[in-house]
Amino acid sequence: MRGDILTIIGVKHCMLYKINKLLEKFMPLMIPTSVVIGVLLSVYIKDFSYLIPWIFAFMTFSGSLNSNFVSMKQAVLNPLPLFLVLIILHIVMPLWALGVGHAVFSGDTYTITGLVLAMAIPTGITSFVWVSIYKGNIALTLSIILIDTMLSPFIVPMTMSFLVGGNIEMDIVGITQGLFLMIVIPSIVGMTLNQFLKEGVAGRLSARLSPFAKIAMSFVVMLNGAVVAPYLLDINLKLVGIAIIVFLVAFSGYLFTFLTGKLFKQDKETVTAMMFTGGMRNISAGAVLAVSYFPAAVAVPVVLGMLFQQVLASIYGFAIKIYYLKEKDIESI
């Protein structure tokens, strides 16, 4: 009897692992598709938007099970990459987005605010997946995710208030509370479990929850798409322009961190970790904040960012693989 139960558990785990790998493979397609479905079905699903923060909290909890507080040792022992990524995430990119926004959309406060918000939110937890695929520095990645996550309730409201606060009404208290609910508290719970459970238990739990977390991400993206559907359905030159600028700004985030890593002579594993953590954003969290605490028009650049983030990650992953293969060939000559 016990053997039969263990066999069933093993089969289920194997199935979940296969489903998770399949979802990872189709992530660049899955997220944009979810936006489209959300827009098309907005009439039927937009009333369920109140579920978004709770679904997102589950996603954060699932992702944080892979890390614990020991991960911060890496950042303490070698803080330079961490500082470089944080500077790019929360100073360089928000200022860059603000400058580009004013240059291209002068006077359009909502669009400019959305661009800044898209670049002010913390690094994406899914960067861990991409760093793992391309064999980057996992410990550094976890340290950046952990520290940036913990700082986000303070950095994001401060950045938004400093850069666009005078131009738009913001619920700073609500934003801070939302970040604590969606990111900080679930992360602390997940990391605490990782810290105190028997070795490997948290990892196995994370592996089993991972496919559900990816499906949950699709639902969050779908619901966010439903909320901003009126703006996305009206396809015009302005919307196309916003999409192009969002793509270029997001593209530059990966490029800036890659070049910074090379400039400071970091090794391949560190540069890979820096590139993905510095380029990716917790874009779903940004969309939730935009939908919950700003006028709906602010959410448009953030939601459009969902269309490109996973695609850009796959493009840069392929590019960095080719780059280091060529560099290795040159060194061997």
Q: Which amino acid is present at 101?
A: G
Q: What CATH number should be reported for the domain holding residue 145?
A: 1.20.1530.20
User: Cα torsion at 118, 294, 306, 135 (round to 10°)?
Assistant: 50
For residue 284, being part of any structural domain is answered with yes
For residue 39, being part of any structural domain is answered with no
The predicted structure's pLDDT at residue 2? 43
For residue 185, being part of any structural domain is answered with yes
The predicted structure's pLDDT at residue 12? 53
Query: Is residue 105 within a helix (H) or strand (E), and if so which, with residue range?
Result: none
The dihedral built from the CA positions of residue 148, 153, 159 and 162, taken in this order, carries a sign that is negative
The predicted structure's pLDDT at residue 10? 46
The predicted structure's pLDDT at residue 8? 41
For residue 7, being part of any structural domain is answered with no
Q: Average pLDDT by consecutive 10-residue portion of the chain (333 residues)? A: 43 68 73 81 82 80 73 73 93 95 90 92 79 79 81 86 71 73 80 78 78 81 76 80 93 95 92 92 78 81 80 85 74 54
| DSSP letters spanning 266-308 | --HHHHHHHHHHHH---HHHHHHHHHHHS-GGGHHHHHHHHHH
Q: Let me know the angle formed at the C-alpha of 85 by 81 and 86, rounded to the nearest 5 degrees.
A: 115
For residue 115, being part of any structural domain is answered with yes
Which DSSP letter does residue 317 get? H
For residue 31, being part of any structural domain is answered with no
User: d(Cα 253, Cα 265) in Å, to the nearest integer?
Assistant: 19
- Enter the pTM of the model: 0.74
Number of independent structural domains in the chain: 1
User: d(Cα 111, Cα 109) in Å, to the nearest integer?
Assistant: 6
Give the residue numbers spanning the domain of 225.
49-327
The predicted structure's pLDDT at residue 191? 79
- Which pLDDT tens digit goes with each residue over 199-215? 677 777 877 888 888 88
User: d(Cα 202, Cα 68) in Å, to the nearest integer?
Assistant: 10
The predicted structure's pLDDT at residue 103? 94
For residue 220, being part of any structural domain is answered with yes
For residue 21, being part of any structural domain is answered with no
